[in-house]
Chain A
Amino acid sequence: MDRSEIEAKLVDLLVDELGLERDDITMEAKFEEDLDVDSLGVVELLMALEDNFDVKIPDEEAEKITTVGEAAELVSQKLNG
């Protein structure tokens, strides 16, 4: 899966699972500050990433994610090494 496919699927997940507005989502957007996702919402997003991309994200790595782009980058690393 290339980076643009990952990003597109991630945006779909943010809309479907967290109920975000598609237009608000940029790769630079910060989950808590810009998108109003609470810390539990970030945990739920990571669970959705694990389920939908079939990857395992350890808590230590999950804690570092603050922006949409960082989430895409982490998934990309997990999928493509």
Chain B
Amino acid sequence: MSETQERVALVTGGSRGIGRAVAELLAVRGHHVAVNYVSNQDAAEEVVAAIEGVGGIATAVQADVGDEAAVAGLVENVESTLGPVAVLINNAGITRDDLILRMKPDAWDQVIATNLRSVYLCSKAVMRGMLRARWGRIVSLSSVAGVYGNAGQANYSAAKAGIIGLTKALSKEVGSRGITVNAVAPGFIATDMTAALGEAAADAVVDKITLGRLGSPQEVAAAVGYLASDDASYITGQTIVVDGGLTL
């Protein structure tokens, strides 16, 4: 992996947290990275500046990945500025937690759109380029919530489980063309998403984590980066759990 490779990578939700760590890792590898965000332009520009600061190439692109027209525009924009997408990281995600008894349809729909519909839309939009190249890597961020289910996260767990099914199905559709499709299911990672839950919640979870601490975005990015590399050429349709032993 010492050689640098000028592939084009699109990281959805690359402005913060895990997405940012993945964008930075792929840029170091020599990829030209499109850093997608939805509202936090400053954060996205900061990621681009950090990448350029170490000699990498990146560009920030705004788009709501749950929206069909926005995704079409996003991929067109990236293809015209950087080239066809060879590596797609479906990372953008949100939570709108509630007990199902209190969950509004809006909270259900938004979480499904941003976490799951987005994976369908983005994978579809980059597929022609990958088929032409007869090479491609798609890695999507699932969650242990999608594997085991979390109380209070029926919407999020459904979306993240959906990603695992989509990953398996799509891997079979395009496997014969040199395209692999995989997922990574993180446990409890220190980002804005989990900071929102508060310290008490984090402490309670840490007790259950075999390694005794939260994970870092970089530790998730390492698994994502591996699946997105040439080294992972014989792995497809899989979901790698990166949770420090939380779900053992």
A contact set with B: CB distance below 8 Å: 38, 40, 43-44, 47
- A47 to B176: give the CA distance in the assembly, Å: 17
Beyond contacts A40-B174, A47-B128: 10 other A-B pairs, Cβ-Cβ < 8 A, are: A38-B176, A40-B131, A40-B173, A40-B176, A40-B177, A43-B131, A44-B131, A44-B177, A47-B131, A47-B132
- A44 to B128: give the CA distance in the assembly, Å: 8
Q: Give chain B residues whose Cβ lies under 8 Å from the Cβ of A47.
A: 128, 131-132
Number of B positions contacting A (CB below 8 A): 7
Give the number of residue pairs across the A-B interface with Cβ within 8 Å: 12
Q: Give chain A residues whose Cβ lies under 8 Å from the Cβ of B174.
A: 40
- A50 to B176: give the CA distance in the assembly, Å: 22
Q: Which residue of B lies closest to A39 (CB)?
A: B173
- A43 to B176: give the CA distance in the assembly, Å: 14
- A40 to B134: give the CA distance in the assembly, Å: 12
Q: Which residue of A lies closest to B128 (CB)?
A: A47
- Which B residues from 154 to 207 make CB contacts under 8 A with A? 173-174, 176-177
The 7 closest A-B pairs by CB, nearest first: A44-B131, A47-B128, A40-B173, A47-B131, A47-B132, A40-B174, A40-B177
Q: How far is the CB of A45 from chain B (nearest CB, A)?
A: 11
Q: Which residue of A lies closest to B127 (CB)?
A: A43
A–B Cβ pairs within 8 angstroms, 12 of them: A38-B176, A40-B131, A40-B173, A40-B174, A40-B176, A40-B177, A43-B131, A44-B131, A44-B177, A47-B128, A47-B131, A47-B132
